[in-house]
Amino acid sequence: MQNKPTFISLSEALSWIAFGQQDKKEELIKYLVKKNYSEDCKDKLNNALESLLSKARGALITLEGKEITSKTTVTNNALTIKISSTAFKDFAAFSITDDGLYYGNGLLWLPESIKVGKDYKFKYQQIEQHKHTTHYVDVDVNFSQLTKELQPGRQSLLALSDAELKNWWGNLSEEEKCLSEEVHKMMLIENFPNNHIARTRLREIRNSVPQQRGRTKVAKK
């Protein structure tokens, strides 16, 4: 019987959480290409990132990586360190190209689909420039802690019903309804740990109330 690895790459961990398969970055990119970078796939991957970093910030899952501290740092010369749990509040942007965590949130280097007439084209989002040059590459995740704290293919769980989603939203206070999308997403994960909630559905219900006017609405496809 093959021994389980102590650590796996960040791409493998996110692929395991999102899709139930342990893909390195090259295989993960191929999988996303095969799926035409669908919003559903990116939602699942982003949800996996949020779930993993939530556990890491609570010091339940250890992440290690090469710390890059300046624009002139050569990756091969960078030292691998245990990343502090507090770092995940700020360094929560996943770079699929180098198994990296950068300042910010979400997925880097994955294209957004833009509708042009009846067709869809892809537009790549550039990494936003910040004063922070520190980031982490070649990030690895403690595999035994990962399997203890999270489920493989979690995003393949049964979708939360429209009735439950509307009921949850209806029970929020007016102040709670004005919180950010990221906060609402974490609230849903905490309240419904055994269900998957696509980000597009959350955006639809957020955009359905007067308090959310002025926010960018997601175009129906």
Percent with pLDDT over 70 in the chain: 81
Q: pLDDT tier at 186 (50, 70, 90 boundaries)?
A: confident
> CA of 1: how far to CAs of 4, 5, 13, 142, in Å?
9, 12, 21, 20
Among 67, 182, 65, residue whose Cα is nearest residue 132: 67
User: What mean pLDDT value characterizes the chain?
Assistant: 83
Q: For residue 161, what is the DSSP state?
A: P
Question: What is d(CA 54, CA 61) in angstroms, rounded to the nearest whole number?
Answer: 9
Q: pLDDT (tens digit, 9 = 90+) per residue, 188-211?
A: 888 887 777 777 788 889 987 654
Q: pLDDT (tens digit, 9 = 90+) per residue, 24-83?
A: 999 999 999 888 888 888 888 998 999 999 999 999 999 999 999 887 777 878 889 999
Whether pLDDT at 124 is above 60: no
Whether pLDDT at 154 is above 90: no
Question: What is d(CA 188, CA 212) in angstroms, rounded to the nearest whole number?
Answer: 18
User: Is the pTM value of this prediction over 0.75?
Assistant: no
Higher pLDDT, 193 or 184: 184
Whether pLDDT at 129 is above 80: no
